[in-house]
Structures are given as structure tokens and as C-alpha cells.
Structure 1
């Protein structure tokens, strides 16, 4: 089994065979801007694999050296307990925050929380309980929840009532630990038939659940497709938004590759006093090392406000 010391002080040596991969990280070019970004952007695993190698540990170190202050991993709950601890300790050593991870199994074609069926309720609540422990290990505060597919045999109000009821029970689990599930509306093009699609719908549910542990994940990519009107909607639902995710449209690549004026959107979010994480949940427009440099450059360009 491969072992390595990854903390700067060299105190901790932990088994990390599933996280290491091929070593490829090199120190950044001193001529490149490595200052912390003005906003807390969080890259995903493998976003910089051509620059840092296949080792997730080296990738996170690369992110930190390039000025990123957070890391986001949808699949964190699927990683081993040891790997969750290793990543949490690494992020802590680098003074980086852990962003969202997906808290439960998402059913893309079957009604789950909307149905009110006991087997889905029990499964979801068990996942939330398990996610509390995942969050503790990796240092996360937020976790993504997607209520699942529409139940075409029930009126919308009935489905909404079922979802609110189960989310209230989940909040009873999360509140004592100061953890937050963030509800993510998904667009109709990439995810047809999902129950939660609009920011106004997520706002209605959060107001009804009425808990600090149930908030909105405003994915700018999804909401550009579903409803547009980004800045006014961010203003309208601001008090329930706890997290943002990013992707340009069309293509779901880095900012500046599509139609969204991210410079204005980010400036507006920052001017409202947002101090949270913005997850970089998108692909790279060019899949090589030069493309990774372009991703970093794009984020520099859309976060330099006059």
C-alpha cells in the first residue's frame, strides 16, 4: 500500500492509495498570478489533472497554489472513510473549505420524495444521517439534495407537500450539527421530468420547511436555461440562497465560453455581501493543459471588479 506525507509540517502520514494516482504536480510559474481569488471558487476533481497529475491530493495542492480557496466533490460520500478523512485533513492544512457533496442517491427516472412512499423516505433519511458523518470527516457544511422525478400520478401540490414533510424530518437530523442541505433546481433540457426546476419553487419549499438547514443551491447554469433573469431572481430569493454553482450556457463549460455575463453576475453577488462558496461544476472547453490554463484565466477575468 502506498503511503505519503502530505501535510506541510510532515506530522501526519496516512494511507492514501485511492487518492494518489500518478504524481504530476509541479510548483507554479512565479510569473503567474497565484493570489487568492476575490471570490471563493471551488474546482472539482480532475479539473486540473493535466497540470497536476492524476493524484487528487496533488490536484488540490495545485488548486491552492493557483489561488483557489475551496474544493467541491459531488462524490465525496462514495469515497472510503479513510479517504474522506485524508481529504478533510488536507483541506484543513491548506486552509481550504470543503464545498458541497451529494447527500443521497438521486433517482433520475422514478418518483421518490415526491411519492411519499415509506421506502424512499427511509432511504433518504438514512442517507442524511450518513451524510452527517461524511461532513464531519471532510469538513463540509453543505450537502446537495435533489428531490427526484415528478410523480405523474399526483397533483403538484400533493407532491410539494410530500417533499416539504420529508425535508422537515431531514432538518431535525441536520440542525444539531449546524449542517445545511441545499436544494438544487435542475434544468428541463439536461434533466427532463425532475420535480424541482425553478428557483421560485425552491424558495417556496424552503420557506415552508422554515429551517436554517434547508436552503437553495442556485446553479447559474441550470437557472439560465430554465428561467434566465438571473440577477433579479438572485435578488428575489436571496435570503434562502446558501450556495452557488457555475457553468456557462450553452456547453456547461467555464465562464466566457457562453452567453452568461459572469463578470456582472459575480460582481452583483459580491456586492450583496456573499462570502460563501461558488462551485465550478462544469467541464473545460479545451481538454488539455492549455485548456486548464484558460479556465484559471477565465476566472481571473470575471472576478476582477473595478
Structure 2
């Protein structure tokens, strides 16, 4: 049955960040993910995970200057040394928290940017990161993101993501398939998943178009969850959505799956 990870960067905003672990566990989640852990000591996050019986499913490598609008640096020429430092920092947090999935954000292509140079940088950085993290059993993820949420993001389609994955050629590089982003950019969600299933390492969901709970909008998630189960998907499904109101009050969609989380 699908295993769901609460995204603590978007969900449980009613609580301070470190208190969100307990809130998610109390609601029946057995896994969590978030954007970035670096504002908190890795040991403190690990303690919250242990205390609440939670698995850390995913987090992102350092994204550059997030406050200044950067959304990753993996595809930015000239930032290779900074990217490698970020891989090492993320890897240390992953080992401390038992996390086996790290997302390397590509970055934004500035107007007129040389996309060929960006792609070559991206491929080289991803290959290096995958090789650095492989001895610790960590998988690197890349995620296509729609241009409405992040204008100019370098990677936006499943086909491009899987072509890059194949070019990198490392077995521990996979694609993070966010059905919210995919629906906005391409649609045909189930068939796209079926086509690329072997290369998908993590799934995320949110209602489309408002990015609220996956029980309202143009995507029939109940159908997709059943199909993923039937197709043998064994990974986590990250709940990367903004609750319409209180997080716990909006978990009606989760009730049918709660008993299958352990």
C-alpha cells in the first residue's frame, strides 16, 4: 500500500518546525520530508525522528542563496565547487538522519543563458554527486518543476529528466516525479509514470491547480494511489501541499490509507 510522508515545510505550519515531527506522527504518518534541514542541528532532527518513530524520506541539497531567489545550483556553470560542498553537507545530514534520498535542485536558467553549457554542467555535477554518495547507499534525485511555480527552472519535463538520468548513467540517480508539477506541464500522469517507472525514485502529490490537499482539483488521486499500489510502487509519496486550513483537519483523504502506513 502507498506510504505517505508529510512534507514538514508545507504542512503543520501551526507548529514550530521541530514540533511538526510529533504532530505528523500523531496523525498517523510514518515518514516525513522537508525542503532544507540546515537551520537545525542534524542531531536534533535525528532525535525528533527517533522519538516519533519516523523515517526521513527526502530533503534537498543546499540550493544556493534561496532568500535571493536561487532554486538550486546543480546546472549553473561556475558553481561546481559550491555544489560539491553542498553535496558533502547534505550527505552528512543524510547519514545523521538515516535519509537515503537527496534532491539536487537544478537552478534557474537566466534569459539568454547557454542551455547546452548548463546541461553539461548539470550532467557532470550529478554524476559526481551520485558517485560521492553511492558508498553510503544514498540516491540522488532530480525533479522537473513547472514554470508557473518557479519561472525559468532548468528542468520541467519528465522526458528531459529521464534523458539526463540516462546520460549520467549512475544507478543511484533517479527522478522525483511530482504529480502536481507534471499535471501542470504535461498531464497524462499514469501513462507517464508507467513509461518511466523504473527510473522514478520518489513521488510527490498536491491538488491541482491550488496546491492544496490531494482530494480536490483536476487530478483523481484516489485512482492514482490504487494504480501505483497495483503497479508495485514501493517508495514514499511525499505530501508536498499547502493545507487549505488546519493540517490535521484536512487529512480526510488520508484516512483510508492510515492503517497501512506501518
TM-score by length of 1: 0.76
Q: Secondary structure at the match of 1:89?
A: helix
Q: Which residue in 2 is equivalent to 1:9?
A: none
What are structure 1's unaligned runs of at least 5 residues? 1-37
Q: Which residue in 2 is equivalent to 1:80?
A: 40
Cα distance, 1:88 vs. partner?
1.4
Cα distance, 1:297 vs. partner?
0.8
Distance (Å, rounded) in 2 between the aligned partners of 1:304 and 1:230: 26
Q: Which residue in 1 is equivalent to 2:18?
A: 56
1:116 matched to 2:69? The reply is: no
Distance (Å, rounded) in 2 between the aligned partners of 1:71 and 1:109: 24
Alpha carbons 1:71, 1:99 under 8 Å: kept: yes
Cα-Cα RMSD? 2.5
Alpha carbons 2:62, 2:72 under 8 Å: kept: no
Q: Which residue in 2 is equivalent to 1:103?
A: 61
> What per-residue deviation string (whole Å, max 9, x for no partner) do you get for residues 196-221 of structure 1?
00111110011111113211111111
Q: Secondary structure at the match of 1:100?
A: strand
Q: What pairs with 1:155-170 in structure 2 (closer than 5 Å)?
A: 156-170=115-129
Distance (Å, rounded) in 1 between the aligned partners of 2:135 and 2:95: 13
Alpha carbons 1:101, 1:144 under 8 Å: kept: yes
Distance (Å, rounded) in 1 between the aligned partners of 2:30 and 2:53: 7
Shift in alpha-carbon separation, 1:225–1:136, aligned structure 2, 3 A: same
Alpha carbons 1:42, 1:279 under 8 Å: kept: yes
Q: Which residue in 2 is equivalent to 1:71?
A: 32
Distance (Å, rounded) in 1 between the aligned partners of 2:70 and 2:33: 26
Q: Which 10-residue stretch deviates more, 143-152 or 237-246? A: 143-152
Which structure ranks higher in relative contact order (CA pairs < 8 Å, sequence separation ≥ 6)? 2
Distance (Å, rounded) in 2 between the aligned partners of 1:111 and 1:215: 17
Q: Which 10-residue stretch deviates more, 156-165 or 267-276? A: 156-165
Distance (Å, rounded) in 1 between the aligned partners of 2:101 and 2:73: 22
How many residue pairs end up in the alignment?
256
What are structure 2's unaligned runs of at least 5 residues? none
Distance (Å, rounded) in 2 between the aligned partners of 1:195 and 1:176: 28
Larger radius of gyration: 1
